Structure 1
Amino acid sequence: MIRAIIFLLLYSYLIPITASNNALIITQITDDSPLTNTAKDIIRMAYQKLGINIHFLRLPAERSLVLTNQAVTDGELFRIDNINLAYPNLIKVPTPYLVAEHMAFSKTKQFTVKGWESVKPYRICFRIGYKVAEHNTRGFNIVLVNTNQQALHMLNSNRVEVVILDRLIGLNSIQSLGFKDIKMLTPPLQTTPLFHYLHKKHKKLVPKLNTIIQEHRQGKVLNY
């Protein structure tokens, strides 16, 4: 029954259902962007090599983790290392396949970024479930929103001073929203490898997926 509800959600997100209900549901926590699309291409390729159909479902970041941990959905497209410490039913495919660059974006402030303490003096914003930002900004002046687009709208209307986003997701979102006054500050606050996660009921797939990702990495440096 629960999986039937999820498939109805897939329809509502305009993701076509052409395979059987045995297809795995992999959640994505960001809208399609160069980073997300690259991740989807790699993970889709890996499952195709195993003869497994998958569908991607866009969900809010925190809800995605809860549903995958409960086996309502089957896996996470990409997450940072050790997310399974908080969600113990998730198993990490050990080889990272992307690198995220966590950047500060601002409309009114210009400064050289020197780690997370650089943004502490400012009113900052990022989406709920952005674990790297949550962990590194404890005690800061934070505004949480549901989506990256909401964060950028807050910044563009001068309601916050700094927004934290992945480099490619941020640049793509700014361009699509037409916000010409928002600039990316450098260098990155932090870079982190990204991993694919599955619910533990699919643990037999982990070594097979890991081998495919390792083979892919040998032919291409996955730093986007």
Structure 2
Amino acid sequence: MPKIYSSFFLSLFLFSSNYLQANEVTFNRPSNTPQAAYVIELLSAAYKQSGYDIKLIDYPRDEALRAANEGKLDGQLGRIAEIELLYQNLVRLPTPLFTFNLLLIHRCNQCTDCQINDFKSVSIVSNYPVAKAYLTKMNYSGEVIDVRSIKTQLALLNQNKIESIIVLDFQLKAEVGALSREEYQLQILSKTASYHYLNNQHPDLFNKISKTLHAFEQSGFIAQLKEKHNIN
């Protein structure tokens, strides 16, 4: 093959490769829950309509928000509202993905209808900022112990090293399952929505995906996916 044609096809290949790479957005891989599976399927469909594929990579969850804010990741698949107040390069798409309950768990013999400030200590999972935001909102002044899993929280509670824990209901179900109501009291602290976030370096993509998610909501597609994945 003449060199001129070889150069042409090589250039075409490199252009195609760069084009394919450009049509890809990267997020950290979420934990294995029905909510995560639902969000991945929903957002994959939304991005596909704009010619993008979603790439998921393993990334420490407690570093993912900072990485998304710095542009090392393209955003966050799902985070609570107002996280953009702390990470100002992240912009929230307006359509909520799903809602969940923030739960307070403590031993049955402590109190009934408790308030968070009734407890001298509480444990939260460090990489879920919704619990920390709630404690700040309630001006909690007790001891806060950050851990990495709900199982560790429950172990501390069972050993009487802390008086209470705060968890996300769907994470509790995924990691532990149902808790004995004879041993524990579960109280709903708040109902919270999860939203998709993009780094602000993607304004055009923000507009496209926002419109697509709104259309999915209006058409009933989001409701269908929630039913498929058993999301309330």
TM range (shorter): 0.7 to 0.9
Shift of 1:190: 0.5
What does residue 13 of structure 2 align with? none
CA deviation digits over 1:154-210, x for unaligned, max 9? 3344433322111111122113xx976864613x10011111001111121112211
Shift of 1:125: 0.8
Which is richer in helix?
2
Shift of 1:99: 0.9
Where structure 1 has 5 or more consecutive residues not aligned to the other structure, the ranges are: 1-19
Partner of 2:176, secondary structure, is: helix
Map 1:1-224 onto structure 2 (within 5 A): 21-22=21-22, 23-28=24-29, 31-107=31-107, 109=109, 111-113=111-113, 117-118=115-116, 120-137=118-135, 138-175=140-177, 183=184, 185-186=186-187, 188-218=188-218, 219=220, 220-221=222-223, 224=232
Paired positions, count: 199
Greater CA radius of gyration, 1 or 2?
2
Where structure 2 has 5 or more consecutive residues not aligned to the other structure, the ranges are: 1-19
RMSD: 2.8
CA deviation digits over 1:94-151, x for unaligned, max 9? 111111211123455565546xx34641521111143221122242321101334433
For the residues of structure 1 that align with 2:74 and 2:163, how far apart are their CA atoms?
37
Partner of 1:132, secondary structure, is: helix
- Check the 8 A contact 1:108/1:161 in 2, yes or no: no
TM-score normalised to the size of structure 2? 0.73
Q: Which amino acid aligns with 1:142?
A: V
For the residues of structure 2 that align with 1:149 and 1:37, how far apart are their CA atoms?
22
For the residues of structure 2 that align with 1:216 and 1:182, how far apart are their CA atoms?
42
Sequence identity percentage:
22
Cα distance change on mapping 1:154 and 1:55 into 2, 3 Å: farther
Shift of 1:46: 1.5
Cα distance change on mapping 1:144 and 1:85 into 2, 3 Å: same
For the residues of structure 2 that align with 1:97 and 1:110, how far apart are their CA atoms?
36
Cα distance change on mapping 1:165 and 1:41 into 2, 3 Å: farther
Q: Which amino acid aligns with 2:132?
A: E
Partner of 1:159, secondary structure, is: coil
